[in-house]
Amino acid sequence: MIRHFVLLRFRDDVSEAAKTSFYRELDALKGHINGIEAFHAGPNVSVETNMIRGFKDAFWFDFTDEAVRDIYLADAAHQAVGAKIVAQTVGGADGVIVVDMKV
């Protein structure tokens, strides 16, 4: 299984409603791409606030394997919501960190 983590540093003017909308679009990919096992999203609640460097939000997907992850990465619906998210982060792509792990 591949766990695909995404840490986000949204601009201060991005509302919770906008974030919820993005996460709903991402969650809908479970019914669109076979092999997505789970999706989770929410605020970073770490007490190590000096270590999070403004990355106050996160989401992750669990994919059955690398092939499903690769399908997700190329998927038009994923790319569309991803572009909307990147447009709302501090510095665009600089406001996004991606980590994939085998679990």
Question: 51 in a domain, yes or no?
Answer: no
d(CA 43, CA 20): 11
Residue 19, SS3?
helix
| Run of H or E residues at 87 | helix 76-87
Question: 57 in a domain, yes or no?
Answer: no
pLDDT tens, position by position, 71-85: 999 999 999 999 999
Question: 90 in a domain, yes or no?
Answer: yes
pLDDT value at residue 97: 98
- What is the total count of domains within the chain? 1
Please give the single-letter amino acid code of residue 17: A
Structural domain span for residue 31: 16-36+64-94
Question: 77 in a domain, yes or no?
Answer: yes
Question: 20 in a domain, yes or no?
Answer: yes
Q: What is the pTM of this model?
A: 0.93
pLDDT tens, position by position, 18-51: 999 999 999 999 999 999 999 999 999 999 999 9
d(CA 16, CA 13): 10
d(CA 68, CA 72): 6
The arithmetic mean of pLDDT across residues 52-66, rounded, is: 97
Question: 28 in a domain, yes or no?
Answer: yes
Mean pLDDT value across the chain: 97
